[in-house]
Amino acid sequence: MTTFIFMRHAVSTANEAGLLAGRMPGVILSKKGEKQALAIVSKLNSLYIDKILVSPQERCLQSVKPWLGHARKRASVDVAFQEMNYGSWTGGKLNILSKSKDWSRIQKAPSTFTFPNGESFLAAQRRVQRRLNSLSRQFPKSSILIVTHGDIIKLAVASTLNMDLDEFQRIVVDPASITTAVWQGGQKSLISLNVSHRSGAPRKRIGNLSRRRVLGGGSGE
């Protein structure tokens, strides 16, 4: 049985600016994100972790770096868990992109959509699923921390639950949250979803759901 511990990167400068960062270079953690990266150290210390994989986007390594230093562990970059390629949409303002005629398809029928000059949701799900299958075969008794992005984690959750891709936008994954799944052969189970570094402490308010389900994962507000 392979345990996958998915951690979404902490709040980035692009999250706070309302931008769809994608694979855009130079996107780092905001001041709030840096605090989240420190706060999640104790949560990660409580978990049994054999292997650490991170997306090549800088904000992911930044998010786990405080814990890596504390635990004296090393992470490996894995391109299978890099952010989606949003193509021509990369760097766009979400409040403008959401007015596009394609927005409804992205939310309601993502399986039919390919970003202009970019990646389709179906292709992204396939690369994530292929890598998880490979890891579960290669490390059948390991616990693997994967530091990645909101949409990538949502696609992994959908694969775990055999959920129709057109339903995956219903999943919410906030910054600096932990989601855990176990894969064993053809059997897959979701253990926990979107657990905050505060160990599931209730929010004072849930906030606007549509803003938390936004393309790219949103800022968690």
The CATH number assigned to the domain holding 21 equals 3.40.50.1240
Contact (CB, 8 A) for 181 and 191? yes
CA triple 211-215-220, angle to 5 deg:
40
Q: Mean of the pLDDT values across residues 90-111?
A: 96
Does 105 score more than 50 pLDDT? Answer: yes
Residue numbers of the domain that contains 111: 2-212
Alpha-carbon gap, residue 180 to 192, rounded angstroms: 5
Domain-embedded: residue 217:
no
pTM: 0.91
Distances 116 to 86, 95, 194 between C-alpha atoms, Å: 7, 18, 30
Identify whether 219 is part of a domain: no
In the predicted model, what is the mean pLDDT of residues 112-127?
Answer: 98
Q: Please state, rounded to an integer, the average pLDDT across all residues of the chain.
A: 93
How many residues are there in the chain? Answer: 221
Q: Is 221 part of any domain?
A: no
Within-domain flag for 218: no
Rounded to an integer, the average pLDDT of 116-142 is 98
pLDDT of amino acid 208: 58
Residue 190 lies in a domain: yes
Angle at 144 between CA 141 and CA 147, to 5 degrees: 170
Distance CA 131, CA 129 (A): 5
In the block, tokens 């299978």 appear at: 80
- Domain count for the chain: 1
Cβ contact 34:174 at 8 Å? no
